[in-house]
Structure 1
Amino acid sequence: MSRPNPGLSLRPVPGTRPQTEEPLSPAPDPWESEFGKDVWNMRALQIAAANRVTIRFDRITRPWLMDLAKRWARWRLSTGLTAECAALGTKAVADFDAFLDVTQVVVSGTAEIDRDVVERFLAYQHTHRAGQVSHRIGVGQFNMFLLAVRRYGWVTDLPNTALIYTEDYPKEVVRQPRALSEHVMRQLEHPTNLAKWPNPHHRLITVILMRCGLRISDAVALPQDCVVRDRDGAPYLRYLNHKMKREALVPIDEELERAIAEHIAYVNETSSPNGGSVGARVLFPHGRSNAQGTDHISTHTYRTCLRRWVSRCEITDEHGLSTVVSAHRFRHTLGTRLINLDVPQEVVRRILDHDSHQMTAHYARLSDTSIRRHWEAARKVNASGVEVTLDPDGPLAEAAWSKQRLGRATQALPNGYCGLPVQKTCPHANACLTCPMFITTTEFLPHHREHRTQLLQIISAAEARGQQRLVEMNTQVLGNLDRIIDTLADTPDAVRDRQDTDNAS
């Protein structure tokens, strides 16, 4: 029998109560209370949601289909998928449920979802969503639902023919970036209009969207420690890309850095003194934020206030009509501006934190379209001073534009462009002003005038030396040059440039 340790007293200390350890009760599982509901609350599930805080299953009327949709959504959320993506999948299942109601196709369980039902559902989707981006997304989401149901054994009676093949997908709709015009952006960026924001949170969010191209869900969730510096001391905005689930950096200027620092001071002065550390606090706290200041304003609130601000500032387009301004159009505008400034496409991809080069290539296509439109609208003359007309809608319009773009890149002249195919040898030995393939525009007028002065000097020197052949050749060039200058000088752009020069002098 063991003896008690004399150094260890088993008696309670006088004046104190005996200490007894009670087992800790396990924390309740939020899924137990939420799974059975028709609407899931992401906050109750302790899942961060930037735009959507609920996932609705109440549009699915068939219990067996609703149960599978819930199981699929729970699995997707548990893998780290965003609430927005999980909601897209739920909507696709709800669309299938609506299809069964409208068409009265008899499907009482997964055993009756065969290839015939799938094809009829695809036809239903095409009838209601053809030409929309949601068409392809909905088909893809429903296909992932079928694959998950079969792969993870949630049912065992789903036919093998319940498949959606690659060729079943509708053709992808490639939409051009919806960049705001510079006319509209000048109004939005004007300090007078920015000062009309009644809320300092919304004003700074707008500036960040314009200059950094963040998605609105990423902008409203910025923490206060969002500014970092590299080893050279250059500032960057660090944010969480919720769509890609990774941190990203975008370079900012000192003016924006100073504005963020001033806003942090404003937030901390107006918030509770018992708040948490600066790093844990958000940059744009909600008006009813908790003591730690970790609850940021919602994207819905900002979008509503943005529409009111645009209306208050009376923003109009080039025709004086009211224009639609959304938070995401600032992102398109930044990408388009960078491409138009000849910023390399890879740099633009990194700034916007695109996951693929294909996304960034949309802005490059828009830039090429803009340049082509200006090229087609510009007044063009050949070496004889005769105006050249190109049909933008002609059968060879695309080929002609490609040739012109390639010519600009490989055969650009100091005073115009060569209209010959790149692979053809020029027979005119650099005498472009006597070449029938030569084309020029008003942007080269200064070069033409300078060239004319040089030609007069050459002709005078050749006459003094008796070089008659040289005089004849350069006189022909001079005649063509005079006709080119006279024709181009009559364009509205040239007249405007002369007026600006006269006013400046």
Structure 2
Amino acid sequence: MSAESAEIRALPEQRSAAPRARERNRRDKRDPRLPIAQLFSEERARQLWESLPEGHRQGHFDAANMPEDYRQAFIVRTIDKSRGWFTQSLSLRGLPEPMQWELAWCVHQQVADGYSINTMRLGELRRGLVLAVEHGGQVARAARSLTALTHEEWGLEVRGALMRTNPTANRYLPEWVENGLKHLQDRLAHAYHDGEWWRLNVWNPALDRRIPQREHEPQGRSVANFSQLTTAWFREAAQWWLSVQLSTERYVWSSVKSRLDHLKWFQWYIDQEGCAGPQLVGSPEELRPWLRGFVDSLNGHTAMTGPNKGGKLAKNSRRGPLVTIEAFYRWMYDNRAEASLVLGDARWAGLGPQHTVLFRLEDKPRLTNQLPDDMALEDEVISRIAAGSGVLAAPKDEGGLDDRQAFHALMLLIRTGRRMNEVLMMDFEPLLPLLTVGKQGGKEADGFVARLAYQQTKITGGDPPTIPVDQEIVDIIRLQQEWARAFTASHGAPEEANPRYLFLQTKNNRLGTRPYASATFHTRLRVLTKKLAITDSVGRSVKVSKTHTFRHTRATDLINAGVPIHVVMRYLGHVTPAMTMHYAKTLAVTAEREFLRYKKVTADGRTAEVDPSDLYDLLHLDQRADRVLPNGWCMLPPRQVCSKGNACLTCDKFVTDASHRGELQNQLEQSEALVARRQEQFTARHAEPMGEDNVWLAGRLAETSALRKVLVALDQIGVHDDGRLRAVRGAGTSDRPGPTQTHQQEPTV
């Protein structure tokens, strides 16, 4: 979850709720307003039963009549005391016939979705229901459907029946009945519901196949719960609006989830201040003050989670609800006549032009997307992550996480720069031939050997995305394919059958139809971060779980290597060059920050008067490539001609810094060696050394003197990464300020 999403979901009323109540609300995603008991129809129950394949319409399953797909899905064997062995069986008998139909249909749906069936728990569920129907209260004895009572009411009936018949029986039976019925009743509620799918307060794509979704949806099994929109007219309109946006592919499922989170803030404000229905206020003059109160409430709200915890909500977290609510009301105004008919509320027809622009520009915080400094990782950091990533695959008894899938996925993230879901949702066979690769001189060509297809889950439309990959990436994919085949085969799938995805969810996924969950992957990488404890060159902790840094790093490497922007754009899967230039900006900022790290000195060892930021700008704005020297920079104005020739070290326009220390040291050594050779030659020829009045010697001595002053100055000032003065560590010295350094020396940043 992003920091913005965490802040958006931290609504004020949640702060006063007990942690246990919040956890219960998170787990229980059922629709509290869905009249389950009223939905039941015996005719509809019979239709569900008749929709099953003929061999699956049974009241009892054992070795003699069990379908093959059930045999693979049933994971618990029961004891057959009469025969003295374990047998695989499941009985639905003893219940009213419609209940048997419902149970049989639910079991079949579970198996078809790739779930494993715990036959012991399902058998106990049936036994508890039989007890309730035979020995429960009047309502339970008259029940014809699993939906006749809520799952809590069924649990109470089972407790009462146990007290009447066998108080010493399994005390966990009522709890098993309650937990088992929740999911079954959810399935039946969606199966019995004949109305429009969007009118349900809880949208569950895993159970309601009518909800539009992309073929590969990263959040395809998440649930959108509208129950927190307690104002009826607002909730129903929001459901209609979002259903149309989803059906017309204006929004994708993840967009629906985020927009719903935004709308919850508006509901909170309505609860606090009240409103006059869809028009919000009684007259147009009252609208602006009322909306201003909502803006003020957002601005004054304290963030409960995320990086701004304890402070104000981030700008993007405050802007999101305002933009969403304004888009919602603009759409409702454009469709106000239809809204009155569809929603059965004539008040929507009274919306006016004032509802199309609810908030002024100054109300909406300016959109910010400032990248942190650590988005592009250093080569050494990447190498250390790759070297330590084996912890993911190592067995637990060796201190590892025993997750080979996470290891393979991390390797692909680092090497390809794909987004996390683009890797986790790859097809089982993502490799395509690279037609341009052939044999050269009887040997396979080096470099790229195939194309890798991935799921573009962020940007829709266009051709199926692929990138060229080398042999190492191909080898990683082949190893993961072997693991995936072995996993599905161990759950009863035929060896020749391939799963749908390359990376697989490991729970209730016998058929390999669900991908590895991004939340699980993040958890693994957070543990890896703690185990490796990697820091970068300036001591910042590197979070391996920030997977987008690998994408930034790959993009920066490509741009730094001189790859054309349009090629980088295609490789990253971007639609516009502006998206790619986002990474180019990262590279430029990194280069500038590296330039500004070092304090600039002149040829006589004094601190340069020019500000490093001004120097950087001047060198680039004036296109002064000829002023960039091997050992520093020339500050001569661009319209003036240099009269010094190569005598930069004796020029007051010359500046340099510690990044050129190696070149300066080498130049000093070469100059001293050159002076020594010339003196030796001069003495051999003239029987006496050159005097100080010699023009050539005077020039060389001036240069060596300047070099010594510069090197001494650079050794004293050091590198300023954290705003504090540091001494440069030399042989036999400790990393501490020298005795001549004082706090009055200020680094130039």
Structure 1: gaps spanning 5 or more residues:
1-23, 500-505
Contact map agreement 2:392 2:524 (CA 8 A) in 1: no
Determine if the alignment matches structure 1 residue 282 to structure 2 residue 501: yes
Change (3 A) 1:290 1:130: closer
Determine if the alignment matches structure 1 residue 185 to structure 2 residue 402: no
Aligned partners of 2:411, 2:631: CA distance in 1, in Å?
41
* 1:7-26 matched pairs, under 5 angstroms: none
Aligned with 2:467: secondary structure? strand
One-letter identity of the residue aligned with 2:514: D
How many residue pairs align between the two structures? Answer: 468
* 1:76-475 matched pairs, under 5 angstroms: 76-80=245-249, 81-102=251-272, 104-110=273-279, 112=281, 114-128=287-301, 130-153=313-336, 154=339, 155-162=348-355, 163=357, 164-166=359-361, 168-177=363-372, 178-179=374-375, 181-182=377-378, 184-191=381-388, 192-193=390-391, 195=393, 196-233=400-437, 234=448, 235-246=450-461, 247-272=464-489, 273-274=493-494, 278=498, 281-288=500-507, 290=509, 292-315=511-534, 323-326=542-545, 327-339=547-559, 343-378=563-598, 380-384=600-604, 386-389=605-608, 398-405=613-620, 409-440=625-656, 441-445=660-664, 446=666, 449-450=669-670, 472=695, 475=698
Change (3 A) 1:146 1:289: same
One-letter identity of the residue aligned with 1:475: A
Change (3 A) 1:486 1:78: same
Contact map agreement 1:40 1:55 (CA 8 A) in 2: yes
* 1:475-490 matched pairs, under 5 angstroms: 475-485=698-708, 487-488=710-711
The Cα shift of 1:282 comes to 0.8
Aligned with 1:388: secondary structure? coil
TM-score, scaled to structure 1: 0.78
Judge which range, 231-240 or 470-479, deviates more: 470-479
* Bigger Rg, structure 1 or 2: 2
The Cα shift of 1:202 comes to 0.9
The Cα shift of 1:83 comes to 1.0
Alignment deviations for residues 180-234 of structure 1 (CA, whole Å, 9 cap, x no partner): 6436434321155454441111111111122222222222111122122432233
Contact map agreement 1:289 1:295 (CA 8 A) in 2: no
Aligned partners of 1:262, 1:271: CA distance in 2, in Å?
15
Judge which range, 72-81 or 135-144, deviates more: 135-144
Aligned with 2:453: secondary structure? strand
Partner residue of 1:54?
Answer: 223
The Cα shift of 1:243 comes to 0.8
Change (3 A) 1:197 1:64: same
Aligned partners of 2:315, 2:526: CA distance in 1, in Å?
24
Change (3 A) 1:488 1:77: same
The Cα shift of 1:301 comes to 1.6
The Cα shift of 1:86 comes to 1.4
Aligned partners of 2:682, 2:566: CA distance in 1, in Å?
53
One-letter identity of the residue aligned with 2:267: D
Judge which range, 375-384 or 204-213, deviates more: 375-384
The Cα shift of 1:292 comes to 4.4
Change (3 A) 1:473 1:429: same
The Cα shift of 1:78 comes to 0.9
Contact map agreement 2:452 2:466 (CA 8 A) in 1: yes
The Cα shift of 1:402 comes to 1.0
Change (3 A) 1:332 1:131: same
Partner residue of 1:502?
Answer: none
Identity %: 23
Judge which range, 289-298 or 432-441, deviates more: 289-298
Aligned partners of 2:580, 2:550: CA distance in 1, in Å?
15
Aligned with 1:240: secondary structure? coil
One-letter identity of the residue aligned with 1:158: L
Change (3 A) 1:414 1:134: same
TM-score, scaled to structure 2: 0.55
Aligned partners of 2:265, 2:516: CA distance in 1, in Å?
32
Higher relative contact order (CA 8 A, sep 6+): 1
Contact map agreement 2:453 2:466 (CA 8 A) in 1: yes
Aligned with 2:528: secondary structure? helix
One-letter identity of the residue aligned with 2:330: L
Aligned partners of 1:300, 1:141: CA distance in 2, in Å?
26
C-alpha root-mean-square deviation of aligned residues, in Å? 4.1
One-letter identity of the residue aligned with 1:402: D
The Cα shift of 1:85 comes to 0.9
The Cα shift of 1:160 comes to 1.0
Quick one: which of 232, 237, 244 aligns to 1:75? 244
